[in-house]
Structure 1
Amino acid sequence: YGPRQGIETCASVEFMLSCEMLLKIAGDLTWADRCEDVAFNTFPPAMTADLKGLHYLVCPNQCQLDGKDKSPGIENGGDMFSYDPHRYRCCQHNVAHGWPYFAEHLWMATPDNGLAAVFYAACEVTAKVGNGRQVVVETRTRYPFEDTIRLSVGVEKPVRFPLYLRIPGWCAKPVLRINGNNTPAHAEPGTFLVVDRRWADGDSVELTFPMELRLRYWPRNGNSVCLDRGPLTYSLKIGQKYVRHGGTDEWPGWEVYPTTAWNYGLVLDATKPLARQFEVRTKTWPADNQPFAAEAAPIEITAQARKIANWKPDERGLIEEVQSSPVKSDEPVETVTLIPMGAARLRISAFPWIGEGPHAHEWRRPK
């Protein structure tokens, strides 16, 4: 185990589908949260941003994507990291199913003749509700990069039906507006907010999920830490150099090498709120509507960090495992940039963190 171990691209797709099926069977929204976690953070960097290449393994920490055998540092032998349109057997087929499966499960029918918004993405759904009347609901949103979802209802005649709106497990205080009016939103995280009313043509719903910063610690993985905001996990932005690695001009293969330092530990201060330790910056939405790309990511977060001089790749170019945090470092404090994990082909997502005193550890070179 550890953040340099990876998940197969096929497994990301099948995990998402399994969560979608379990949600339909059990109605437990835990499965929706787990599906989104993989869909937004792990699945996108399995492919190049133009979707023409994929690789076999996606790891939380990957500093170099070349074609060399990384075993026994990882459990798979051979070329597992370089991007290629043909090499990885089953993954070429499964990778194309991930987003269609996800889109198929954005909306679900409910036993009381209602309609449930299970996942949020720009879409339009046509369904029968109430006493069998047809309704069209259009969703406009840039979630998970933005926090607001806007729905518009289209019906020939007014019809009463319950509209179920999923509240993610990380959202404690959703904000609801119906036809521009603030409406009480009484729903616990990880449940449905149900709006049961008579709907008319042109009715609108605006749902906002305030996105707070959160830290997650991993005691079994060197007590490393991840930074989350809403459903997105954030990774160190590492400069990328793409080097041609087989394929054809139309369907090229690529190796990806770092052009900037990646061996950082975060500088955290338990006495300060996270909003004072990290700065969230929004950027212009990408013109090609592909937000899962390092230079086009519409959100960046700046953080304070120090380099860990002894943290290096091993002899096979595989990132060394994280060691126990807190970690000592005499390097100067730097401001680093984090981007959504799904946009980072090279990434550090499970960070060591810097400390001092008797509880801090020296980072030692492996023997």
Structure 2
Amino acid sequence: MRICSFSLIAVTLLSAAALAQPTAPLANRAPLAPQKYMEMPLGSIKPQGWLRDQFLIMNQGTTGHLDEYYPKLKNDNGWLGGKGDNWEETPYWLDGALPLAYLLDDKPLQEKVLRYVNWSLNNQRPSGYFGPLSKYERETGKPVTSGEQGEDWWPRMVMLKVMQQYYQATGDKRVIPFMTKYFQYQYNNLAKTPLGKFTEWSTARGGDNLLTVYWLYNLTGDKFLLELGDLLNKQTTPWTQYFGGRNWVMAAAAQQNDTAWMDRHAVNVGMGLKLPVVYYQGKKAPQLLAAFKTGWTDMMTLHGLPHGMFSGDEDLHGNDPTQGVELCALVETMFSLEQAISITGDPMYMDALERMTFNALPTQTTDDYNSRQYFQMANQVQVSRGVFDFSLPFDRGMNNVFGPYAGYTCCTVNMHQGWTKFATHLWYATPEQGVAALAYAPSTVTFPASGGTMVTIQETTNYPFADQINFAISAAKPVSFPLELRIPGWCREATVLVNGQKLRSDKGGQVIRLMQVWKPGDQITLQLPMQVTTSNWGRNSRTVERGPLVYALKVAAKVDKKEEPKEGTYYEYRPESPWNYGLLQSVVKDPVQNTQVVEKPFPAPFVWNEASAPIEIRTTGRQIPNWQLVDGVARQPVSARDGYYKGEVSDKTDSLTLIPYGCTKLRIVAFPVVK
């Protein structure tokens, strides 16, 4: 049998799949531990307001059109039967493009991504193996029958996530037998062809594989899937041991050598975070959840940065504000936290997810979503070619510039899942046929409540810039269901109103439950008063915060478009206004009295940039003359343990304008403090 002549089957199934309705929320099947919250199927949640603006930009830019011009995707794609990309880049792109197609109900994008889905579904080998032709198949013309004839397990893990989302959105019945056959293939072959047979990436990232195995078990109840889960956990990097044992995270802060560097690789760490909480479902061992919490807390203590993400350039690299953060690591960590929220229900992870999403994520891409940085810096006052303080200094020095392909191109294709996965995890289902709003952004959610009554809740808000969130209930008749709302940890006291009347007040750091009969047209208002505060970060620096946002000095920039022979177009940003300021001690001691919050009309459409920033914080500071760029880096001045910079400081007090970090390209966010 020759399979090299695979041809695309005409997409006669497209219309039925595209018009299908989202599936129902899926609860864990015994003996798996029950989730605290269940994921909503793709399509149940729709973006509105500024979030929809973001998705429209993505659809018009790289997310919607990358396959039309990026050679690795465009030319003879292996995931369509060709000889081109046969590894991670096409599945990475689909992992963001497919959910975008269903979030926007965009039929052209659905048609585009379904070409790849249909090819994989229609060309699965009899053994269960799927995906591009392996070297064995190309050389022999015979289909893969055993593990050693196949290729790297890793890219198939990503494609399984794509298939899971596709099934949730459409209910396409082909997906379940397809995944069952593949997992039987894994179950039969992993002993002799383990995850690490082809690359270390599969060993590090087995938690993603485990996630889809448990998801399929909940649909089919096939017992072999639980055994497969144990096998995958055993063959995966021991992240649970690392996170719970603590020695690993301390060693990662001290070493950037080549010993076990894959265990310090920030993208692997971001993916590995989910392993203990996902495996907890199979084992119900509390120490697994404890290991995750210990690891997360330790990592943010030793490697955390003000924007909410840990350093990783590419290694974990401490908490200095000029260390880098890889975009891939950011979006993978977001996804791991979204899984931890579902399984644990811990508000700490909800706060962490919002902080990195609203701060670190938007700054790392351009307004048109066509260029991105491989590494961003927290204190970033120049964007240019160079090696800086990163642990991966490419010879061409392209890690910090903006460009479609600058640095490794994994970020070109993987960045698309960040916003789309966040949108699909704004709401979760509860075991009592209710819903929980655990992260906030303008959206609608539709779900079946008790008795099968369909309910839609419209969430209207300019959060994270505004402190009020409004929910409007639509249903055919009055219906009883629980509505759970997160009160963020930064909020001292929240107020809930129903139809304009105060219902209750609650302290921050918890999820509250509202249980009553809801009538069509009911209005729920959540007020989350935001107060200006400061927080302490690496090298005794201070960051100004308000609500879920951190604020950075607004630095004017000159943008230059350039070309690099191997990596193409890129953009450099040079400062055109002073940036070397310290915050006055009065701001740190009493930030409320020594800052002014200025709210502006919310722009439509909204773009994460300096001009569109809908809120400013105005305060005061003084210049530090000796704080200058050295080799393109604004290395942090040393402060004494009392918190103040002791060097030369200007006698002149200047007014400073701070804007949300996510709206900046050049900035200071970790300030020295001066008297």
Q: Provide the TM-score with structure 1 as the length reference.
A: 0.91
Check if 1:321 corresponds to 2:641: no
CA–CA distance in 2 between the matches of 1:332 and 1:76?
Answer: 40
Check if 1:94 corresponds to 2:414: yes
2:473 to 153, 158, 165: 153
2:447 to 112, 117, 127: 127
Task: For 1:190-339, list aligned pairs within 5 A.
Answer: 190-218=509-537, 221-246=538-563, 253-269=570-586, 273-290=590-607, 292-314=608-630, 316-324=631-639, 325-328=643-646, 329-339=649-659
Give the superposition deviation at 1:270: 7.2
Check if 1:188 corresponds to 2:507: yes
Q: Report the secondary structure of 2:330's partner residue.
A: helix
CA–CA distance in 1 between the matches of 2:322 and 2:381?
Answer: 9
CA–CA distance in 1 between the matches of 2:635 and 2:588?
Answer: 31
Would you say the 8 A contact 2:494–2:507 is kept in 1? no
Would you say the 8 A contact 1:55–1:83 is kept in 2? yes
Q: RMSD of the alignment, in Å? A: 1.7
1:24-81 per-position Cα deviation (integer Å, ceiling 9, x unaligned): 01111111100111001111111112222100112210110012232xx222213111
* Aligned sequence identity (%): 36
User: What 5-or-longer segments of structure 1 have no aligned partner?
Assistant: 356-367
1:172-193 per-position Cα deviation (integer Å, ceiling 9, x unaligned): 21121111111113x3312112
Would you say the 8 A contact 1:53–1:252 is kept in 2? no
Residues 176, 22 of structure 1: alpha-carbon distance in 2 compared, 3 angstrom cutoff: same
Give the superposition deviation at 1:321: 2.7
CA–CA distance in 2 between the matches of 1:233 and 1:270?
Answer: 15
CA–CA distance in 2 between the matches of 1:239 and 1:15?
Answer: 31
Would you say the 8 A contact 2:534–2:588 is kept in 1? no
Residues 108, 67 of structure 1: alpha-carbon distance in 2 compared, 3 angstrom cutoff: same
Give the superposition deviation at 1:271: 9.3
Task: For 1:65-104, list aligned pairs within 5 A.
Answer: 65-70=383-388, 73-77=389-393, 78-87=397-406, 88-104=408-424
Name the aligned partner's letter for residue 562 of structure 2.
H
Give the match for residue 361 of structure 2: 43
Residues 271, 201 of structure 1: alpha-carbon distance in 2 compared, 3 angstrom cutoff: closer
User: What 5-or-longer segments of structure 2 have no aligned partner?
Assistant: 1-317
2:336 to 8, 18, 30: 18
Name the aligned partner's letter for residue 349 of structure 2.
W
2:382 to 61, 64, 68: 64
Give the superposition deviation at 1:330: 3.3
Structure with the higher strand share, 1 or 2: 1
Give the superposition deviation at 1:322: 3.1
CA–CA distance in 2 between the matches of 1:208 and 1:193?
Answer: 13
Residues 245, 34 of structure 1: alpha-carbon distance in 2 compared, 3 angstrom cutoff: same
Would you say the 8 A contact 1:268–1:277 is kept in 2? no
1:146-174 per-position Cα deviation (integer Å, ceiling 9, x unaligned): 11111110111111011001111111211
Give the superposition deviation at 1:272: 5.9
Give the superposition deviation at 1:100: 0.4
Q: Report the secondary structure of 2:370's partner residue.
A: coil
Give the superposition deviation at 1:288: 2.3
Residues 115, 271 of structure 1: alpha-carbon distance in 2 compared, 3 angstrom cutoff: closer
Check if 1:140 corresponds to 2:457: no
Give the superposition deviation at 1:253: 2.6
CA–CA distance in 2 between the matches of 1:341 and 1:129?
Answer: 39
Give the superposition deviation at 1:241: 1.0
Residues 154, 252 of structure 1: alpha-carbon distance in 2 compared, 3 angstrom cutoff: farther
CA–CA distance in 2 between the matches of 1:271 and 1:232?
Answer: 17
CA–CA distance in 2 between the matches of 1:136 and 1:179?
Answer: 17
Name the aligned partner's letter for residue 471 of structure 2.
L
Q: Provide the TM-score with structure 2 as the length reference.
A: 0.50
Name the aligned partner's letter for residue 534 of structure 2.
L
* Greater radius of gyration (CA): 2
CA–CA distance in 1 between the matches of 2:629 and 2:466?
Answer: 35
CA–CA distance in 1 between the matches of 2:610 and 2:588?
Answer: 32
Give the match for residue 314 of structure 2: none
CA–CA distance in 2 between the matches of 1:96 and 1:110?
Answer: 28
Check if 1:174 corresponds to 2:174: no
Give the match for residue 360 of structure 1: none
Higher relative contact order (CA 8 A, sep 6+): 1
1:178-227 per-position Cα deviation (integer Å, ceiling 9, x unaligned): 11111113x33121121101011111111110001111112xx2211011
CA–CA distance in 1 between the matches of 2:330 and 2:485?
Answer: 25
Give the superposition deviation at 1:312: 0.7
Q: Report the secondary structure of 2:559's partner residue.
A: strand
1:262-289 per-position Cα deviation (integer Å, ceiling 9, x unaligned): 1100012279632211111011212321
CA–CA distance in 2 between the matches of 1:82 and 1:11?
Answer: 17
2:438 to 112, 115, 118: 118
How many residues get paired?
346
Residues 75, 331 of structure 1: alpha-carbon distance in 2 compared, 3 angstrom cutoff: farther
Q: Report the secondary structure of 1:284's partner residue.
A: coil
1:234-270 per-position Cα deviation (integer Å, ceiling 9, x unaligned): 00100011100238xxx95311111001110001227
Structure with the higher helix share, 1 or 2: 2
Would you say the 8 A contact 2:479–2:518 is kept in 1? yes
Check if 1:4 corresponds to 2:322: yes
Would you say the 8 A contact 1:130–1:159 is kept in 2? yes
